[in-house]
Amino acid sequence: MPAELGALLLADGRLPTGGHAHSGGLEPALAAGAGPDDVPRYLEARLRTVGLVEATAAVLTLRRCRTAGADVDEVQVALRARMPSAPARTASELLGRGLARLARRLWPEHPAVAALDSLGAPPLRPVALGVVGAAVGMSDAQVARASLYDDAQTVAAAALKLLPVDPTDATRWLLDAGPTLEEIVARALTCTGPDTMPATTAPLVEQYSLDHASRSRRIFVA
Amino acid sequence: MTRDAPARIVVEQDGARTRIRELTASTYLRPRLLGSGAGPRVALVAACASLLAGDHLRLEVEVGAGAALELVEPSGTVAYDARGGRADWTASVRVEAGGSLVWGAAPFVVAHGADVHRHTGIDLEPGAAVLLRETFVLGRSNECGGALRSTLTAVRDRRPLQAEDLDLTDPVLRGSPAVLGTRRVLATATLLGIRPDELADPHETALDGPGALRRELADHAHLAEDALEPTWARWRRLVGQTRPARTVTCRTAA
């Protein structure tokens, strides 16, 4: 499959991976007092923190999937050590499961997809994304960009359901975050291995995920 | 002793008790034995007005197999206006099998104009336990605070257990609703090597490996530390060091 088509598929909210049920922490952020004006800053700060960590994990997974018998688990273990929030790991597993299910059905014979079975725990979203990226032949930059775009679009799309926001404004947030997104893509590509994977921490994103998990009334999973 | 030589605290188990094998002072820190509980209790006493630009405070802690050590800090650390320079603070901790370390650090205050990098590296053998509390205060009263970058890497049995990089150097990113928002104090209790059976507070979370973490954001150091207190006391019991949490109180930074 052409890599360009794969990149479009991964960026498309209609791809059946369950992403529509997530808000990237926006729902609990709003519950904690954030308002519409805070969304662009929130979205961009995610890119610079958890977004960078996840995009790097996706790229490292992709690179390892290009060589047969590569150890993807090492990337996943490094990523899990960078996600202290248990609900955040669970949310990422749900998204990873959606991508892994697609990959197993569409490219069952691909060695990268087989690598999913060697993991010690369910694949997190970035790891599953790296595997799918390998299966469709995407480049490092394409996978990093797909990871970051998905995160930003998750927040923007959730804002349309949670706030009285014009869809054009939500689109503008994404475009405004473009230079940051490309800067983070470039940073993600410079990482050489799990030992030096970025660990940029976003304490409020962690707190929101914990607050959200303890609530019974909510619209989004995370 | 060269200027940047590390302060060192080494304890080992000798029969039924933990004994101190080494207490080495540095330009910045004078470790002093206060007494003993489950094991020796050692105070990290500041030897000079730290941290100034160009300073590099280094601390090495080694807890031998089965030994227990508690570190306390009688006063907070202030990183002062660096006027274009940078200060570094590095701690290396190693705990062998069955050993335990409890370290309730006093507030680390990053004054206006300061530029400070902290790194804490923790290496645990299987069966070792560490309980750490860190409180970062951005700015003294009525200051917005300088640049702080604090990284922590905990490895257990050569496997990454917790890795964080709190990059609070950029005031815009720091003040965003993803990082600290409007709060200027971040307190974190980190339990490593032990998985609690239950988590009693919604802000406590289980790490992927054996360990747990709780953070509190607040406007004042004592409020953040008070919020952490019940978690601290519970996790301290898990580590097996049951002395009251704050025998030395420090609220200078609040």
Confidence of residue A72 (pLDDT cuts 50, 70, 90): very high
Residues near B179 by Cβ (< 8 Å), separated by ≥ 6? A45, A49, A202, A203, A204, A205, B168, B173
Cross-chain residue pair A81–B160, CB shorter than 8 Å = yes
* Separation CA A178–CA B201 (nearest Å): 38
Which residue in A106, A140, A113, A143 sits closest to A126, CA to CA?
A: A143
Q: Which pLDDT value is given to residue B242? A: 64
CA distance A172 to A178: 10
Per-residue pLDDT reduced to its tens digit, A202-219: 999 999 999 999 888 899
Whether B163 and A44 lie within 8 Å, measured CB to CB: no
- Is residue B185 scored above 90 in pLDDT? yes
Please give the pLDDT value at position A71. 85
- Give the integer Cα–Cα distance in Å for B134 and B60: 17
Q: Do A42 and B207 touch (CB under 8 A)?
A: no
Look at residue A219 and tell me if it is in a domain.
no
Residues from chain A contacting residue B177 (CB–CB below 8 Å): 29, 34, 38, 41-42, 45, 204
Burial group, residue A109, by CB count within 10 angstroms (0-12, 13-18, 19+): exposed
Query: d(Cα A31, Cα A39) in Å, to the nearest integer?
Result: 13
3-state secondary structure A174-219: HHHCHHHHHHHHHHHHCCCCHHHCCCECCHHHHHHHHHHHCCCCCC
**Partners of residue B160 in chain A, C-beta under 8 Å:** 77-78, 81, 194
What's the whole-number mean pLDDT along residues A184-189?
98
Contact A45 B176 (CB under 8 A): yes
Residues of B in contact with A45 (CB under 8 A): 173, 176-179
Residue B112 CA to residue B142 CA, distance in Å, equals 10
pLDDT band at B1 (very low <50, low <70, confident <90, very high): low
A132 in a structural domain: yes
CA distance B232 to A4: 51
Q: What CATH number did the domain enclosing A69 receive?
A: 1.10.4190.10
**Is A199:A47 a contact under the CB 8 Å cutoff?**
no
Residue B134: Cβ-neighbour burial (10 angstroms; 0-12, 13-18, 19+): buried
pLDDT for A54-71, tens place per residue?
999 999 999 999 887 778
Whole-structure pTM value: 0.94
pLDDT tens, A91-145? Answer: 999 999 999 999 999 999 998 998 888 888 899 999 999 999 999 999 999 999 9
B163 touches chain A (CB under 8 A): yes
Dihedral (Cα; A113, A67, A127, B199), 10-degree rounding:
110
Contact A29 B173 (CB under 8 A): no
Q: For residue A47, what is the DSSP state?
A: I
Put simply, the answer to whether A207 touches B159 (Cβ < 8 Å) is no
**Which of B254, B250, B191, B248 is CA-nearest to residue B71?**
B248
- Who wins on pLDDT, B183 or B249? B183
Name the residue among A46, A198, A199 with its Cβ closest to that of B178. Answer: A46
Query: Does residue A188 surpass a pLDDT of 90?
Result: yes
The Cα A61–Cα A113 span in angstroms is: 11
Q: A104: domain range?
A: 3-10+19-210
The answer, yes or no, to whether residue B244 has pLDDT greater than 70, is no
- The whole-number pLDDT of residue B143 equals 85
Of A42, A50, A121, the CB nearest to B177: A42
**Inter-residue contact B162 to B190 (CB < 8 Å):** yes
**pLDDT of the residue at B243:** 55
* Residue A74: inside a domain: yes
Domain boundaries, chain B: 7-239
Q: Is residue A217 part of a domain?
A: no
What is the structure's pLDDT at A115?
Answer: 84
The predicted pLDDT at position B250 comes to 40
A to B CB pairs, distance under 8 Å: 97
User: For B145-175, what is each residue's pLDDT tens digit?
Assistant: 999 999 999 999 999 999 999 999 999 999 9
Say if CB B29 and CB B7 are below 8 A apart: yes
Nearest to A42 among B159, B178, B203 (CB): B178
pLDDT at A62 (0 to 100):
96
- Over residues B8-30, the pLDDT tens digits come to 999 999 999 999 999 999 999 99
Report ipTM for this prediction: 0.95
| Tokens found for residue B35 | 């007494």
Q: Grade residue B248 by pLDDT with cuts at 50, 70 and 90.
A: very low
Average pLDDT over chain A reads 94
Q: What is the pLDDT of residue A70?
A: 74
Question: For A25, left (φ over 0), alpha (ψ -120 to 50), or beta?
Answer: left
Pairing assessment for the beta strands B211-218 and B185-192 based on DSSP bridges = antiparallel
Question: Domain count of chain A?
Answer: 1
What is the Cα–Cα distance from B198 to A13, expressed in whole angstroms?
Answer: 37
Mutate to test the interface with A, among B134, B179, B201 (most CBs of A within 10 A): B179
Measured between beta carbons, which residues in chain B are less than 8 angstroms from residue A197?
Answer: 163
Whether A41 is in a domain gets the answer yes
B160 contacts chain A (CB < 8 A): yes
Instruction: Specify the pLDDT at position A67.
Output: 81
| Sequence-distant (≥ 6) Cβ neighbours of residue B154 within 8 angstroms | A81, B122, B123, B124, B130, B160, B161, B162, B163, B190, B192, B211
Question: What pLDDT score was predicted for residue A178?
Answer: 98
CA distance A100 to B8: 49
What is the nearest CA distance from A79 to chain B, expressed in angstroms? 9
User: How many other C-beta atoms can be found within 10 angstroms of the C-beta atom of residue A161?
Assistant: 13
> Is A216 in CB contact (< 8 Å) with chain B?
no
Higher-confidence residue: A13 or A62?
A: A62
Res B254: pLDDT: 38
The answer to whether position A61 is within a domain reads yes
Q: Which value, to the nearest 10 degrees, does the dihedral of the CA atoms of residues B150, B156, B159, B163 take? A: -20
Q: Is the dihedral of CA B252, B154, A131, A187 positive or negative?
A: positive
Contact criterion met (CB < 8 Å) for A81 and B180: no
Q: Does B231 touch chain A (CB under 8 A)?
A: no
Which residues of A fall within a CB distance of 8 Å from B164? 82, 84, 199, 201
CB contacts under 8 A, A 46-105 vs B, are 46, 48-50, 77-78, 80-87, 89
Identify which of B249, B239, B204 has the alpha carbon closest to the alpha carbon of residue B132: B239
How close does chain B come to A176, measured CA to CA in Å?
Answer: 16
Considering only alpha carbons, which residue of chain B is nearest residue A43? B178
Strand, coil or helix: B205: strand
Structure tokens at B195: 């998985």
